[in-house]
Amino acid sequence: MEHFISFDDITPTEMNELLNLAADLKYQTQNRISHHILKGRTLGMIFAKSSTRTRVSFEVGMYQLGGHSLYLNSQDIQLGRGESVRDTAKVLSRFIDGIMIRTFSHSDVEDLAKFGSVPIINGLTDLMHPCQALADLMTIQEHKCNLKGLKLAYFGDGNNVANSLLHACTKAGMHIAVASPDGYKCDARCVSEASEQAVDTGGSVLLTEDPFEAAEGADVIYTDTWVSMGQESEKAERVRIFMPYQVNAGIMDRAAEDAIFLHCLPAYRGYEVTSEVIDGPKSVVWDEAENRLHAQKAVLVKLLR
């Protein structure tokens, strides 16, 4: 494991190692057991997109691991003034031990890995969000004990979160159903890769425009905001298109009786999910948010130790 850019880059064994390590680190954190595994290590954090969970969880994670983090706003470094990703990668590699980047273009992350000489972590791109998916698997495992054979149903835009969930779920031997309207499907390459992977792990992939078909018997119900950063001008149109995919009591009734609800946040009640669901007894979104910290610490330890 040299980088964490996509779930497609790691093996099922490496994924399980990350989940087990994340659970150990969470236990130590909650019991105030010091684990300065990365003492003397420095992580550079490039943010072309603003963030709450990603920035705080990585900064706190590096602190708890005994290391140091540097917040690098793209407008504060030469990358934002036209310096190439290639040159940025080469320069930063001489100063720091790893780079986490949250940006728009997925190719920028791949170029950092190609031209730099330190581990690269994908904090989010328009194509994928693997750190979120790892925290999601950790949360599901905590509440369901096992992953293999479970069904996750995702509703709404086939975006970066959905793409990474396709990879993550099929790598874990899970069944994933994605309900999204025509024109807002998941990336075709991600669907193909996940489908091929499912053959080896016993999972499956279902793409449908019927939200009730996706929800049928699901162990995990998942949704995300309909309007991602940079799509604000499309809000009215997106609300009209996605309203049939809202996660509400009707969707939850189709799921398994002990189903849990996940949302990567930020959430907009009354749009992609009702207050009744996200604030209800089946919601585990706050565990999910916390697990971003522990899951990412596992990635940091694996790459930077």
Q: Name beta bridge partners: 18.
A: none
Contact 19, 137 (CB under 8 A): yes
Task: Give catalytic status of residue 102 as yes or no.
Answer: yes
Task: Give catalytic status of residue 129 as yes or no.
Answer: yes
Task: Give catalytic status of residue 269 as yes or no.
Answer: no
Strands 98-102 and 42-47: parallel
Kindly name the residue from 132, 197, 246, 296 that is annotated as catalytic.
132
Dist. CA 73–CA 34, nearest whole Å = 30
Dist. CA 148–CA 201, nearest whole Å = 8
Kindly name the residue from 97, 264, 294, 296 that is annotated as catalytic.
264
The closest of 67, 43, 288, 11 to 161, measured between CA atoms, is 288
Dist. CA 113–CA 5, nearest whole Å = 9
Task: Give catalytic status of residue 132 as yes or no.
Answer: yes
Kindly name the residue from 187, 292, 294, 296 that is annotated as catalytic.
292
Contact 275, 91 (CB under 8 A): no
The closest of 258, 261, 256 to 273, measured between CA atoms, is 261
Q: Treating both helix axes as pointing N-terminal to C-terminal, what angle do 130-144 and 12-30 enclose, rounded to 10 degrees?
A: 70
Helix (H) or strand (E) holding 223: strand 220-223
Kindly name the residue from 129, 167, 175, 294 that is annotated as catalytic.
129
Helix (H) or strand (E) holding 100: strand 98-102
The number of angstroms, rounded, from the C-alpha of 205 to the middle of its chain's C-alpha atoms is: 18
Kindly name the residue from 3, 41, 53, 102 that is annotated as catalytic.
102
Task: Give catalytic status of residue 190 as yes or no.
Answer: no
Kindly name the residue from 157, 197, 224, 296 that is annotated as catalytic.
224
Dist. CA 137–CA 291, nearest whole Å = 10
Contact 155, 211 (CB under 8 A): yes
The two three-digit tokens of residue 114, written as one number = 């190609």
Dist. CA 25–CA 41, nearest whole Å = 18
Please give the positions annotated as active site: 102, 129, 132, 224, 264, 292
